[in-house]
Structure 1
Amino acid sequence: MGLGGVFEPFRERNYSLYFAGQTLSLTGTWFQNLALSLVVLDLTGSARALSGVTIAQFLPMLLFSIPAGRIADRFRPRTVLMTTSLISAALVAVLAVIVASPDPALPALYGIVAALGSTQAFERVAAQTIIFELVGPHLFSRGVALSTVTVAVSRSIGPGLAGILFQAFGAVPGMVVNSVSFLLVFGMLALIRPQRFHSRRTSGAAERLPMMRFLRNRIIVTLLITNVFIALLSLNFMVTLTSIVTIDFNGDGAAAGMAHALNAVGGIVGGFVAASIVRLRPVMVAVALVGFGATVLINAAAPSLMSFLIAAPLLGLGIGFYNSVLNATAQLAVAPSNIGQMMSLMNIGNYGVVPFGALLLGWIIDLSSGRLALAVGGVAALLAAGWVWSRVRGEPSEGEG
């Protein structure tokens, strides 16, 4: 397939606006997250305290993912996204005020981050649910795969600039950038034309698929369990990568930002490779996990900061391809009218169990090193690959509807 086919979703004006808005939002979030992580490490010197930020951010997603899926399937995802963008802008402004104080209180920081996490529980599900409405069935799988590129693009831009901004002016400007980014997202969403949406509604029983029917589908159960397992042990990169740079290798904020940015360069390529797949089958998740696990282990073996930075794009390639394949496969496994429910379950793994993984990996880092914690994630990915292969080999990529 030619390169033009990969970029075909961008011919839809609504999708281009969505992509730009998501990229702005996620870039701003990196400004905030890197600054906040460095503030907490500076205040405490503890990876466990840093994992507390991750817990506060992602635990609400475990609690609210299921309601978020129901809302995304009942109401327009665009309406949900416009609401969450305004709420998030206000909360980040409050966070900036707290960080600006001479002695920021950790409980106050955790509280605002938890409120942001609650809002993001609804925002993340809606951001995935809206893709079908933007591009329709023909371009759906490519639209989903390309949507994960927004994560990598933001990571290629955000951390490096955020590290430089932090070194020059401190943490507060990073919070301001994120608050403004949410307002820009609201503006992008306002420009989207609802009259050009593709309907996700179908007739008959598929319209309101009971949640328990998800648990009787072999492919869906496999994806959900794999997603939880990998999110628990392999995807806490804000904790592991930041700790490796700043604790294992004694790097500064700019070096931490560079590591995340280089990692993201590979993630962009990984997303585009996934978008080029003509027919996505569930077994590709196993293939993606093998590549992901291998690149994680290569980075974990890096003996110095320089070699770690050189290997970072390879890790990004593995992450980008895995995330794109997993999310596209999950959304293709259900009828369009049930994408919200499916993504709410996926977000339990994507975000909901992350706090527990952060706590575990923070404990490993404090006892040993960030590289050991990263290696645990690589081994977990390889084990998951074998399990997925045994369960979905030969399964077609068909939706329930």
Structure 2
Amino acid sequence: MTAGASDRGRPPRRSPLGVLRVREFRIYWLGASLSSIGTWFQNIAAGLLVYELTRSTLAVGAVNFAQFIGSILLVSVAGGAADRYDRRRLLMVSQGVAAVVGATLATVTLLGAVTPAIVIGAALLLGFSLAFMVPALLALVPLLVDEADLDAAIAINSVSFNLARAVGPVLGALVVGSAGYGVAFALNALSFLAFVGALALVRPRPQRRAEGDRPRLLETIRLVRSVPAWWAVLVATTVISMSTDPINTLVPELALDTFGGRELDAGLFVGAFGLGATLTALTLTDWLRRRRRALPGSMLVQGAGMLLVGLAPTIGVAYVGMAISGGGFIAGITRSSVRLQSEVPDLQRGRVMALWSVAFVGTRPFAALISGAIAEIANARVAALALSLPVLLLAPWVGRQLERPTPPVR
């Protein structure tokens, strides 16, 4: 059979927007998008509130530390759960728990009893929910679309997060300015319930569930280490995630103090990053798919954008740096996620993607503390420059590892 005949026997690949014609994926995507927008309401409101109460960037870093530490503490349990239990139901439970936490924080805030410690505690509980959500969310996507559409599905799935990153912080800042922090937290709680409703309507393909003893974390690490390209993907994901921390920890200081802006400018900072990511995902996915060195190249673009943020003479130039960094971020994260989701067998996908989620969100607690500490000692500009270095320095090594042959995986 010729290559052309083989291609004709396969379903045609859809574009990122075209994959939304698949009913199950479309419903899931809409629900996830609403939930992501609500999460950014929470993120921007929590950061601004704690910065307003303490005037400490390190305290904002503590909020982010609390939000993401759960992904490290629960990596083995959460990844095993995504392989052993129904992923859709696991997502519904985790989102329901997050809705309860968000509603409680909103109530306390509206009653005027909120403190930095309460915000940090709520972030910790939401982080535990996030730890179970991420591996199940990632491992569910291949069950909603054909294999030929996986690239497009992951790209548009990333768009939902980054479109939320573009829109959510701006809307969140507007809500904070007009209605207060409590209303922003309440809208976040409602967004979790919207995702639960969407998941109730979705019917994914049957999932192969792992049986026997639950694999230990070290076994999963050894599995990934046995394939040089997979290990390089996790390293790349780690440094990409670290280099994005300024949008979580440093934005209040950058917007309000460094550039003398308002709460809305904090939202626009994060929105510029999300806009760059969204435009890249919608316009360059097919082009990046055909580029052999797309991942290391994306790392260089992301790091260069964050360097520009640190060196920007005006807030407008800093917005441009954020947009460039966002484009590199989404390209790199999409390529790393596609590589693992397409190569790792289904029986092992949940626990490997849990390890990926540790690289993606589990490193942020430490990045938040590091960037917050640097900002306290020096300033937010220096912290942004420091966080851009790992992704720039490790890009060449990642490129070399991806060229190595992939051994058979048992």
TM-score by length of 1: 0.91
1:37 CA displacement = 0.8
Equivalence for 1:253: 263
For residues 354 and 342 of structure 1, what CA distance do their matches in structure 2 show? 19
Which of 284, 289, 303 aligns to 2:294? It is 284
Determine whether 1:360 maps to 2:370: yes
For residues 96 and 273 of structure 1, what CA distance do their matches in structure 2 show? 38
Determine whether 1:223 maps to 2:233: yes
Contact 1:96 1:175 in 2 (8 A): yes
For residues 247 and 348 of structure 2, what CA distance do their matches in structure 1 show? 30
Write the letter of the residue equivalent to 2:296.
A
Which of 49, 54, 70 aligns to 2:59? It is 49
Write the letter of the residue equivalent to 1:333.
E
Which of 168, 185, 190 aligns to 2:195? It is 185
Once the two structures are superposed, what CA deviation does each residue of 1:146-188 show, in whole Å capped at 9, x if it has no partner? 2111111101211111111111121011011101111111111
For residues 172 and 56 of structure 1, what CA distance do their matches in structure 2 show? 20
Residues 325-364 of structure 1 mapped to structure 2, 5 A cutoff: 325-364=335-374
Equivalence for 1:32: 42
Residues 80-95 of structure 1 mapped to structure 2, 5 A cutoff: 80-95=90-105
Which of 227, 245, 250 aligns to 1:235? It is 245
Between 1:341-350 and 1:367-376, the stretch displaced more is 367-376
Which of 149, 153, 173 aligns to 1:139? It is 149
Secondary structure of 2:312 counterpart = coil
Identical amino acids, percent of aligned pairs:
25
In angstroms, what is the RMSD of aligned CA positions?
2.6
Residues 1-400 of structure 1 mapped to structure 2, 5 A cutoff: 5-194=15-204, 197=205, 199=207, 211=220, 212-273=222-283, 275-277=285-287, 279=289, 283-393=293-403, 395=405, 400=409
1:400 CA displacement = 4.4
Q: Which runs of 5+ in 1 are unaligned?
A: none
Secondary structure of 1:250 counterpart = coil
1:19 CA displacement = 0.8
Write the letter of the residue equivalent to 2:148.
H
Once the two structures are superposed, what CA deviation does each residue of 1:97-132 show, in whole Å capped at 9, x if it has no partner? 222343522222222211111011001111111001
Q: How many residues align?
A: 394
Gap change, CA 1:275 and 1:383, over 3 Å in 2: same
Contact 1:333 1:400 in 2 (8 A): no
For residues 323 and 235 of structure 1, what CA distance do their matches in structure 2 show? 14
For residues 119 and 239 of structure 1, what CA distance do their matches in structure 2 show? 21
1:233 CA displacement = 4.6
Between 1:300-309 and 1:255-264, the stretch displaced more is 300-309
Write the letter of the residue equivalent to 1:65.
V
For residues 360 and 174 of structure 1, what CA distance do their matches in structure 2 show? 28
Between 1:274-283 and 1:223-232, the stretch displaced more is 274-283
1:310 CA displacement = 4.1
Between 1:294-303 and 1:61-70, the stretch displaced more is 294-303
Write the letter of the residue equivalent to 2:43.
N
Secondary structure of 1:276 counterpart = helix
Gap change, CA 1:327 and 1:305, over 3 Å in 2: same
1:313 CA displacement = 2.3
Secondary structure of 2:148 counterpart = coil
TM-score by length of 2: 0.89
Contact 1:231 1:354 in 2 (8 A): yes
For residues 332 and 27 of structure 2, what CA distance do their matches in structure 1 show? 25
Between 1:255-264 and 1:114-123, the stretch displaced more is 255-264
Once the two structures are superposed, what CA deviation does each residue of 1:127-148 show, in whole Å capped at 9, x if it has no partner? 1110010013221222122211
Gap change, CA 1:3 and 1:173, over 3 Å in 2: farther
For residues 381 and 49 of structure 1, what CA distance do their matches in structure 2 show? 25
Between 1:164-173 and 1:135-144, the stretch displaced more is 135-144
For residues 99 and 330 of structure 1, what CA distance do their matches in structure 2 show? 41
For residues 390 and 347 of structure 1, what CA distance do their matches in structure 2 show? 23
Once the two structures are superposed, what CA deviation does each residue of 1:249-301 show, in whole Å capped at 9, x if it has no partner? 12211111111112211111222345314856774211211111122222222
For residues 304 and 337 of structure 1, what CA distance do their matches in structure 2 show? 50
Contact 2:83 2:348 in 1 (8 A): yes
Gap change, CA 1:5 and 1:103, over 3 Å in 2: closer
Contact 2:91 2:133 in 1 (8 A): yes
